[in-house]
Amino acid sequence: MAAPRPRVVILDYGSGNLRSAERALERAGAAVSVTADRVAALACDGLVVPGVGAFASCMRGLAAVDGPRIIDRRLAGGRPVLGICVGMQVLFECGVEGTEETMGCQQWPGVVERLTAPVVPHMGWNTVVAAPGSRLFESVAAERFYFVHSYAARRFKVDEAAPCVPPMVTWAEHGERFVAAVENGALSATQFHPEKSGKAGATLLENWVRQL
């Protein structure tokens, strides 16, 4: 008898691009539902936090469905969470867009700011420098992934003296270096869109689903 597929919830808080993520995760081997239901989001094997658009509007949408507390409770229990694009950005301390500063979910230190580059937004395929030992990038560390963003975390402070294992940070470059992905225990995230990244993105999602 085949093992049951891991149950994954894509948190529906008004952000776009939910259906392509749903299809990609289903192909990766998960049983997927798209919902804002708090009980389902807490009970599933893996929670995906998508995100498209402005940091501030995504945080308002998340707050409306109790998203920050759902994320916090899952992580307190070691339950996996995956953030994608702005769904990654909102995991940092705050985001700055123009003169507006918005508090994020504060899972990681750092500020999400506008990229300094000749062309913004950063739109298209790019390579990454995967963190040594990365499980997300297993067998795809040398591949290209699809990015669409104007803002990013440009620094990630790692406390190497802390008693816990430090986060694994993957970097990319567009005008300047920025955080492309983070793996931090049960919490993982990508600045790029794995669901739009062809075979490489499909493999990355398979790697995440396999960990659930």
Report domain extents, the chain: 7-210
Tell me, what's the pLDDT at 165?
A: 78
d(C-alpha 184, C-alpha 68), whole Å: 17
Catalytic residue among 22, 44, 193, 206: 193
- Percent of the chain with pLDDT strictly greater than 90: 92
- AA letter at 86: V
Q: What pTM value is reported for the model?
A: 0.96
CB within 8 A of 116, min separation 6: which ones? 175, 176
- CA neighbor of 136 nearest in space, from 74, 184, 71: 184
Catalytic residue among 85, 94, 113, 174: 85
Distance of CA 195 to the CA centre of its chain: 12
Annotated catalytic residue 193: yes
The architecture (CATH level 2) of 7-210 comes to: 3-Layer(aba) Sandwich (3.40)
Tokens 């560390």 belong to: 141
Tokens 């070691």 belong to: 78
**pLDDT, tens digit (0-9, with 9 covering 90-100), for 37-89:** 999 999 999 999 999 999 999 999 999 999 999 999 999 999 999 999 999 99
Tell me, what's the pLDDT at 101?
A: 97
